[in-house]
Chain A
């Protein structure tokens, strides 16, 4: 399969008629890991939710394509089947639905109705992914996210990603609330999929996770725009100087108005 390309062009998004994203342009290709960093409330999660088609986010201008297909014209389930995955910052709890049953239904939604995944094959894949993520096997029989700790929910998102094998994964604050060991496990999950057919858009507030992932592009988002892009060094500079430095630079150049 060809290398995936997620292309975001001049994306404007509003929530309840309030503009949140004010022209975001970004391209993520297979084999690449992009990190979008920025202070809280600058639109990072809005970007992630918009890509996945959450009904609360209205696109007012711009385009998003995956391999040339218009993502914005697709419902969330069609986007997922086209190869997009979003690890959510706050995954929903779904009572009465086990993680295993949900995952099997999600895999089967990608297959012809007459050819569901054989149970044994599914179980093997699930077991293998759970071993990789150092998860208790009982986990799969618990109701989806119900009563899970923050860390368990994040691991469960990565578990789903491993089984659904997306072409582009958006990881929204996958590292927040995790200790270093848990971050390493999450990074191991992402690494397991890395290759020319898999690209990552990592949304984070912190620099820590960047140590464990092959991040090659760093973008800084402030007030609904990407104001600075660079390589890993940019993240280190940001860590050293803080977001105030970006704001000050913006003010000086006049582009922040």
Chain B
């Protein structure tokens, strides 16, 4: 595999260099997309990063992040099952014949631009764009990376599920940063038409060559859940320490639609995750379950924003994580119940357990409520594992590592039990076990 050679960092990537990069590497696309890339490139070059000391996205940490990387990567090896996406392309095992017959479209987004241009054009960027700016919103942190992805995305999943089609088997996607790759900009567009049902399981992994230089994953996932549609999204992030990851996820949920986000965040040097859920129709539901575990010098920032814009909408967020070593985490949840969202129901729960005195964790819950007739509750905590608890368990003969393992198991079991997929739960437990012993 050819090594990427020239690399432009975030600090050096101005509008002109991004424009030149787009012009060189994204040829043959429809004019509307080329134009959208250039506009996004300009925004990416000019948008500021947060200056807040506590944000994992704060400017000085990202100046050296590689954003433009030359090189001709190889096409990925075929996956055993599902879809594999790398810098070099998109490979997939054939869709089940029944899905094709039912009208399900599942392609590389880069191909979908040509094969279903109207659909792509109608939806691309429209979930991210729904996030309100100002007016009680929490700001535009990460907008720079969302714009970078909009300018530079290469491959990703385009999945369209027609009305009333229910996919029983999950669609599995693996994003892999191979050892020759410096950057990866995947983009996923998931459209679940009315009363359809779909489940996706994503895995984010990287190959870690010895002494790997800093690398960047900037991913965007957009979901559109139509009326009465049910979308279950699962992701396990297991990137190596050389990769800094910025992942934006956004969903718009129509009347009686259900969106479920299920995330296991374990890897990456620095992770900045941002999730936005717009409950736009009456009875729309958003359910979020997050398990995270950081150790060594990992930094994890995770922000979940939920907008209740319609009556009787419901949201329920439950995030629990463990920080060990010198790891740091900040979990922010913002739930906004807008005027008119009568009878809405919102819950937030964010809890972090610190296993070492040098770990740091922050939990910031917030509820913004503009309507009277609603139920909203939040709970947040971040605390160390109690010395007396470990002593108690050790006093029964359990070695310290076993005592820690039991406490971590007990702490994470309620959140892991909430993950809807058996296979995902098993993977998450496996990661947790590994992290405890690392």
**Which residues from chain A sit less than 8 Å from chain B, CB to CB?**
52-56, 75-77, 79-81, 85-86, 88, 91-97, 102, 105-106, 109-110, 143, 160, 164
Contacts of B387 in A (CB 8 A): 55-56
Shortest CB distance A215–B (Å): 24
Interfacial residues of chain B within 361-389, with CB under 8 A of chain A in the complex: 386-389
Question: Given known contacts A92-B386, A94-B410, A96-B411, is B399 in contact with A109 (CB within 8 Å)?
Answer: yes
Q: Are B392 and A109 in contact (CB under 8 A)?
A: no
B339 on interface, CB distance cutoff 8 Å: no
Shortest CB distance A196–B (Å): 23
Contacts of A80 in B (CB 8 A): 394-397
Shortest CB distance B94–A (Å): 43
Contacts of B60 in A (CB 8 A): none
A80, B403: Cα distance in complex, Å: 13
Shortest CB distance B384–A (Å): 14
A52, B402: Cα distance in complex, Å: 18
Question: Given known contacts A80-B395, A160-B396, is B402 in contact with A109 (CB within 8 Å)?
Answer: yes
Q: Are A92 and B388 in contact (CB under 8 A)?
A: yes
Q: Are A95 and B391 in contact (CB under 8 A)?
A: no
Q: Are B396 and A92 in contact (CB under 8 A)?
A: no
In this complex, the member of B391, B399, B403, B409 whose beta carbon has the largest number of chain A beta carbons within 10 angstroms is B391
Contact of A94 among B392, B395, B402 (CB under 8 A): B392
Provide 13 A-B residue pairs closer than 8 Å at the C-beta atoms, listed in order of the A residue.
A52-B391, A53-B395, A55-B387, A76-B395, A77-B394, A77-B398, A80-B397, A86-B395, A88-B392, A93-B389, A96-B413, A97-B410, A110-B397
Q: Are B391 and A55 in contact (CB under 8 A)?
A: yes
The range of chain B's interface size is: 20 to 34
Q: Are A96 and B396 in contact (CB under 8 A)?
A: no
B407 on interface, CB distance cutoff 8 Å: yes
Closest to B411 in A: A96
Contact of A97 among B394, B400, B406 (CB under 8 A): B406
Shortest CB distance B215–A (Å): 36
Q: Are B397 and A54 in contact (CB under 8 A)?
A: no
Q: Are A92 and B399 in contact (CB under 8 A)?
A: no
Closest to A49 in B: B391
A56, B406: Cα distance in complex, Å: 22
* A-B pairs under 8 A by CB, number: 78
Closest 7 CB pairs between A and B?
Answer: A96-B410, A80-B397, A92-B392, A106-B396, A97-B410, A76-B394, A96-B413
B132 on interface, CB distance cutoff 8 Å: no
A81, B391: Cα distance in complex, Å: 14
Contacts of B392 in A (CB 8 A): 88, 91-92, 94
Q: Are A92 and B402 in contact (CB under 8 A)?
A: no
Closest to B389 in A: A92
Q: Are A52 and B395 in contact (CB under 8 A)?
A: yes
A168, B414: Cα distance in complex, Å: 37
Q: Are A105 and B402 in contact (CB under 8 A)?
A: yes
A81, B396: Cα distance in complex, Å: 8
Shortest CB distance B438–A (Å): 20
Shortest CB distance A228–B (Å): 29
Question: Given known contacts A55-B387, A92-B392, is B398 in contact with A105 (CB within 8 Å)?
Answer: yes
Closest to A163 in B: B396
Interfacial residues of chain B within 385-437, with CB under 8 A of chain A in the complex: 386-389, 391-400, 402-403, 406-407, 409-414
Closest to B416 in A: A96
Contacts of B400 in A (CB 8 A): 75, 77
Contacts of A97 in B (CB 8 A): 406-407, 409-410
Query: Can you add 9 more A-B contacts, CB < 8 Å, to A54-B388, A56-B387, A109-B397?
Result: A77-B395, A77-B398, A80-B396, A88-B395, A92-B393, A96-B410, A96-B414, A97-B409, A102-B396
Q: Are A106 and B397 in contact (CB under 8 A)?
A: yes
Contacts of B397 in A (CB 8 A): 77, 80-81, 106, 109-110, 164
Contact of B406 among A79, A88, A105, A164 (CB under 8 A): A105
